[in-house]
Structure 1
Amino acid sequence: MTALAVDDMSEPEHEPESPKLEAVPDWLIPPEGGFTASDLDNLPQLPPHTELIDGSLVLVSPQANFHVLTMDLLVSVLRRMAPDDLRVRREMTVTLGRRQRPEPDVLVLRAEGVKGLDQTTYRPEDVVLAIEVVSPDSEERDRKRKPQLYAAAGIPHFWRVENGGGRPVVYVYELDPATSEYFMTGVHRDRLELSVPFGIDIDLTEIDRL
């Protein structure tokens, strides 16, 4: 009689279980025809600060200290310096079209564009300045796609803010109305002094004390 090998008497090996797939949340499933700007106000489980870009929902990652402190610095100084007919807002959307509702980190708009405490978005014709503070997860959008959308919508001023060794570096752009494209007017480190869209003087090193 042939003896059984030890391996023949071992317990049969079990295939590892496949990880269970989570069901896709209902709010992530686009309706027929895709998402539109008005959907951002009507999806009940939508995370805060979700944007709509080219018909796709863009969910925001947790923000780093640099991002938050830069916004705090810009908002506080711009509010102090802005003339009475302008208002400064942070993280509010601008409805640029049926499938475009981005959310600038900071924006300056005309006072008449503010319609009340229940308002959730602004019109591009009321926006004077849009500012994006670039994050690692949104570099492509902040540097390319969103400026394209703001320029096409006629927003006259755009700032892109980068992290320059822990301090803001501000790239300033103005709209060329003949081409509907932005052109750069300057790169500002340590101090930002401008005469448009109004008199602005920001000590960018103040971020060290926030």
Structure 2
Amino acid sequence: MGALMSVEPTARRAEWPVPPVGGWTADDLDKLPNLPPHTELIDGSLVFVGPQTLFHSRAVSFFEWQLQSLAPEDFEVVREFTIDIDRQNRPEPDVIVVPEHVIQDPEQTRFPAETVRLAIEVVSTESMSRDRETKPLKYARAGIPVYWRVENDNGRAVVYVFELEPNTGQYTSTGIFRGRMKVDVPFAVDLDLTAITTKRRRPREQ
């Protein structure tokens, strides 16, 4: 009786998109098959988002719903939606505020960056350098007038607010907020940031 031969399992290779010469373009994001959710295009390269933390999820939901309740009727608040900056840059801010008129088609997949009035990024470990350095530079160059960066400080939110300085075309820090956040642009906002927390709240004593 012949010896049995074992067959080693063949390792399955991950099939990653191979970029063309010059990198991917903004239009490619709508055409490439099987991309992970929330894939961004930064400088012609695809950026895949890591697993979402509880803080990140709560912060994004908080700003989406709070801003929607405070926004004037001619503004819309949209979460996790890509914006066209240029041919090689199509990032996806966590929350944006846009004029209502730019929402024209329920099948649209992006907005022009120049229509965005506020961009918000909630920082995670894997996105730290992009949210602190790369994206603010690109958002400023695109003319987005206000940028908020939200960070996790031991389970509580800290919001860094930046406004576009028209003479330099760069962002200027206009405030760091903990606990309560009150600003006037892009519209009047008064928020209780303590509602964003990863810690269990103890009931108040009677």
TM-score w.r.t. structure 2 length?
Answer: 0.88
Is 1:154 aligned to residue 138 of structure 2? no
Q: Which runs of 5+ in 1 are unaligned?
A: 1-18
2:13 alignment partner AA: A
Aligned counterpart, 2:204: none
Match of 1:119 among 96, 104, 108: 108
Equivalent residues in 2 for 1:8-87, closer than 5 Å: 22-25=12-15, 27-87=16-76
Match of 1:101 among 81, 90, 104: 90
Q: For residue 150 of structure 2, give the secondary structure of its aligned residue in structure 1.
A: strand
Aligned mates of 1:96, 1:206 — CA distance in 2:
32
Aligned mates of 1:195, 1:57 — CA distance in 2:
35
Q: For residue 118 of structure 1, give the secondary structure of its aligned residue in structure 2.
A: coil
Aligned counterpart, 2:179: 190
Contact 2:22 2:44 in 1 (8 A): no
Larger Rg: 1
Q: Which runs of 5+ in 2 are unaligned?
A: 1-8, 202-206
Aligned length: 191
Aligned counterpart, 2:6: none
More helix by proportion, 1 or 2?
A: 1
Decide whether aligned partners of structure 1 residues 21 and 176 sit closer, same or farther in structure 2, where only a CA change above 3 A counts: farther
> What whole-Å deviation, never above 9, does each CA across 1:137-167 have from its counterpart, x for those lacking one?
1100010000000000000000000101111
**How far apart are 1:119 and its partner, in Å?**
0.8
> What whole-Å deviation, never above 9, does each CA across 1:121-146 have from its counterpart, x for those lacking one?
00012100000000001100010000
Aligned counterpart, 1:13: none
Matched-pair identity in %: 52
**How far apart are 1:177 and its partner, in Å?**
1.5
1:97 alignment partner AA: D
Q: For residue 146 of structure 1, give the secondary structure of its aligned residue in structure 2.
A: helix
Q: For residue 120 of structure 2, give the secondary structure of its aligned residue in structure 1.
A: strand
What is the RMSD of the two structures over their aligned residues, measured on CA atoms? 1.7
2:129 alignment partner AA: E
2:52 alignment partner AA: Q
Contact 2:117 2:186 in 1 (8 A): yes
Aligned mates of 1:126, 1:77 — CA distance in 2:
21
**How far apart are 1:32 and its partner, in Å?**
3.3
Q: Which moved more, 1:60-69 or 1:27-36?
A: 27-36
**How far apart are 1:68 and its partner, in Å?**
0.2
Q: Which moved more, 1:200-209 or 1:74-83?
A: 200-209
Aligned mates of 1:165, 1:54 — CA distance in 2:
32
2:65 alignment partner AA: S
Aligned counterpart, 1:92: 81
